[in-house]
Structure 1
Amino acid sequence: MFNILTLNKIAAVGTSRLGDNYAYGDDVQNPDAVLVRSAAMHDMQFEDNLLAIARAGAGTNNIPKDVCSEKGIVVFNTPGANANAVKELVIAGLLLSSRRVMEGADWAKTLKGNGDAVGKMVEKGKSQFVGPEIKGKTLGVIGLGAIGILVANCAVALGMDVIGFDPFMSVTNALKLNPAVKLMKSGEDVMVNCDYLTIHVPLTADTKDMVDADMIAKMKDGVRILNFSRDGLVNSTAVLEAVKSGKVAKYVTDFATDDIIGEENIICLPHLGASTPESEDNCAIMACDELKEYLENGNIVNSVNYPALSLARTNTENVRFCVMHKNVPELLKKVLSEVKGNVENMLSKSRGDYAYAIIDVAGGNPENAAAIAAIEGVIRVRAI
């Protein structure tokens, strides 16, 4: 029996896939795994039996990944599960940044009570809400992952010229990208050549404040900036000053902060990107499937701190040793010396300072896990 702690509401379409061998809920004690959406976990104490954390969403800033890596806790996310939901909101934000729809809607509310005069008042006042079309304009997309590609392709379909940059774009993603999208040599090349800019990268030390006062100064006058990725990618002080000066025509973000709420030509949304029932279902299904596969078979798919590694189980009578260890020379050789029995299948892969091995042993003894765990550099061992 596996115990799963849910820190946020997880769609039942996901948890129903776990099966009878699982107990889950927000009151589970000593969990083997955690399912989470946005709940902050940095101040939580993790018991030694915690094996995995699955984030039903793409971002994992709410999870202490370094601590988890040291303790042999696999952190999963669900890349692409909410991509369409975010793409649709980005396209809405793109239009809102250009056409003064929200301002016009707010103004229209003030006409309430004017009876038959409303029509004439609308015709007289609508000119103050004129905004340009996006067709024929240049959209810059920084980050061409699951969401960025969908946004770029959709913008092409809407008649925009699209330029983009992603230093880590996979071959798979490259094949999904519309060939009309022009790839640039750097993020700066994108930012200084676009009329509209949208950012789709994780928040890291390298990407924090990537749009700051210096970068904004290099952009086109009247550029319109969208941030539906992470708070902190755009320096709010810099963008507020640029909006007030007219350098930036509009800033639309899914991350409301006190300093920019209510400011003219800034639209703040309450982090609605993944807030669709379809997205929540997709994320829940993927997160639960990832946890189940890891807990039952030791296979890792979509981890942000340990290497992706999957090995089919060809003989269920074999003992499967799942070994997390530091990525140091000769350590795996020491591990193999302790498994005893006949090694029928094995896979090993590293990711930065950490490595993971799955070893299927015919005639293996689960009790040998203790001897493997005693090897210096081994972080965690499971015998399944």
Structure 2
Amino acid sequence: MYSIKTMNHIAQAGLDVLPAGGFRVGAEVSDPDGILVRSASLHEMELNSNLRAIARAGAGTNNIPLDKCAQAGVVVFNTPGANANAVKELALAALLMASRNLVGGAAWVREQAAAGVDLSTAVEKGKSVFAGPEIMGKTLGVVGLGAIGVLVANAAYKLGMEVYGYDPYLSVETALRLDRHVHCVKDENELWEKADYITLHLPYSESTKDTINAGVLARTKPGVRVINLARGGLVNEAAMVEALNAGKVARYVTDFPSAGILAAPNVVALPHLGASTPESELNCAVMAAQSLKEYLENGNIVHSVNYPDVFMDRGDCARVCALHRNIPNMLLKLTTVLSEGGFNIEHMTNKARGEYAYTLIDVSGTVSEENLAALKAVEGVFRIRLIQE
């Protein structure tokens, strides 16, 4: 039986993926084999020796120490695309909020009503303050064409916008889902200079930190409208505040409020609502639990962020799972140990992701603790797992 610790509330549909006969699941679980998490930070948590996997019910994983986990032989999963529709819908709402001062107008009406003003007269006199342009015919720049960015780009085109997309890592699979009318640019400066609206849909990393900065804002059109529903660190706050105060940015819609950004004018700050729909929560929980279950039971990796995705059909053989550094001769060393142990290799697959690699080896016969110890002793190996049923 596998023990799974939940660090946040996980939708019941996700928990149902882990049947009671094979899994013990709960917040009280100690020394877990796996962890299910949403927003809880794991950076200060000690990784117990039995921990094999962490599944994040969501796309972002900046609350998880990825390299620390990789070097401990702990596979980290996320749920790409599970919340894509929820974020897409919020992005469309954000486009409208960035154009027309809906939030300010609604707040003003309440203020007038609370003051006892005749609304019918006040509304006609005051509504012009909250007017804004239509999005039809305007140019939208979508930065990041992953699962969410593609949906936003396609939907915006259908709403009558001219859409430009930029993603240096655009996959063939994603490109095939992109509407043919969306312009994919190779130079991001073309997008900055042409866009009336800019929306960010990319993960946060050291390379994407401050994607929107003073230099970028200097190249944008006067009165550009910016939307960030992806990660707070993608936008340099000081540069954005300066641009808002100067009127260079007409409105900024963000899902990551802070005291600093709220001090600037023309900001719509939301309380991190991007994936806050019951449908998204359910989808993320189910996908996270499925990835965790597949890895623990079969050793297959699907939707990992710190190891390569590797899948090999299970047969009747014992399965050796090796998490190791991506260095020369590793396969030779592993297979030599098995050969010297008298094992015949029935099936094998290996993939690498950066400095980390994963190898699955199906062998005939019973693998002993002595055999496992010999595999673990190979230099560069982080963890050896045996699935033998």
Give the 3-state SS of the residue equivalent to 2:29 in structure 1: coil
Q: Tell whether 2:356 aligns with 1:357.
A: no
Give the 3-state SS of the residue equivalent to 1:198 in structure 2: strand
**Partner residue, 1:266:** 267
Distance 2:141 2:366 in 1: 56
Q: Percent identical across equivalent pairs?
A: 53
Q: Tell whether 2:370 aligns with 1:371.
A: no
Distance 1:195 1:28 in 2: 51
**Partner residue, 2:328:** 329
**Partner residue, 2:131:** 130
Distance 1:132 1:366 in 2: 71
Kindly report the root-mean-square deviation, in angstroms, between the aligned alpha carbons of the 2 structures.
1.2
Contact 1:366–1:383 under 8 Å retained in 2 = no
**Partner residue, 1:8:** 8
Contact 2:8–2:36 under 8 Å retained in 1 = yes
Give the 3-state SS of the residue equivalent to 2:345 in structure 1: strand
**Partner residue, 2:318:** 319
1:354 partner amino acid = Y
Counting only pairs closer than 5 Å after superposition, residues 90-129 of structure 1 correspond to structure 2 as 90-112=91-113, 117-129=118-130
**Partner residue, 1:172:** 173
Q: Tell whether 2:293 aligns with 1:292.
A: yes
Give the 3-state SS of the residue equivalent to 1:192 in structure 2: helix
**Partner residue, 2:18:** 18
1:6 partner amino acid = T
2:13 partner amino acid = V
Distance 1:54 1:187 in 2: 33
**CA deviation string 1:208-238 (max 9, x = no partner):** 1111111101110000000110011111111
Distance 1:103 1:238 in 2: 23
Give how far 1:115 is off: 6.7
Which is further off, 216-225 or 117-126?
A: 117-126
Counting only pairs closer than 5 Å after superposition, residues 150-165 of structure 1 correspond to structure 2 as 150-165=151-166
Q: Tell whether 2:334 aligns with 1:341.
A: no
**CA deviation string 1:89-140 (max 9, x = no partner):** 1111110000111111011002215779311211111111110000000000
Distance 1:92 1:138 in 2: 16
Give the 3-state SS of the residue equivalent to 1:110 in structure 2: helix
Which is further off, 115-124 or 73-82?
A: 115-124
Distance 2:103 2:174 in 1: 34
Which is further off, 272-281 or 332-341?
A: 332-341
Q: Tell whether 2:36 aligns with 1:35.
A: yes
**Partner residue, 1:223:** 224
Which is further off, 180-189 or 112-121?
A: 112-121
Contact 1:260–1:266 under 8 Å retained in 2 = yes
Distance 2:323 2:287 in 1: 23
Contact 1:11–1:284 under 8 Å retained in 2 = yes
- Give the structure-1-normalised TM-score: 0.97
Give how far 1:263 is off: 3.3
Distance 2:280 2:200 in 1: 20
Give the 3-state SS of the residue equivalent to 2:165 in structure 1: strand
Which is further off, 334-343 or 279-288?
A: 334-343
Distance 2:334 2:49 in 1: 21
**Partner residue, 2:386:** 383
Distance 1:127 1:291 in 2: 54
In structure 1, list runs of 5 or more residues that go unmatched.
none
Contact 1:342–1:364 under 8 Å retained in 2 = no
| Matched positions, count | 382
Give how far 1:314 is off: 2.4
Distance 1:39 1:177 in 2: 34
1:345 partner amino acid = H
Contact 1:86–1:273 under 8 Å retained in 2 = yes
2:172 partner amino acid = V
Contact 2:244–2:264 under 8 Å retained in 1 = no
Distance 1:351 1:116, change over 3 A: closer
Contact 2:58–2:80 under 8 Å retained in 1 = yes
Contact 1:225–1:250 under 8 Å retained in 2 = yes
Give how far 1:371 is off: 1.2
Contact 1:319–1:366 under 8 Å retained in 2 = no
Which is further off, 354-363 or 278-287?
A: 354-363
Distance 1:116 1:328, change over 3 A: closer
Give how far 1:362 is off: 1.0
Contact 2:228–2:254 under 8 Å retained in 1 = yes
Give how far 1:264 is off: 2.1
- Give the structure-2-normalised TM-score: 0.96
Give how far 1:182 is off: 0.4
**Partner residue, 1:243:** 244
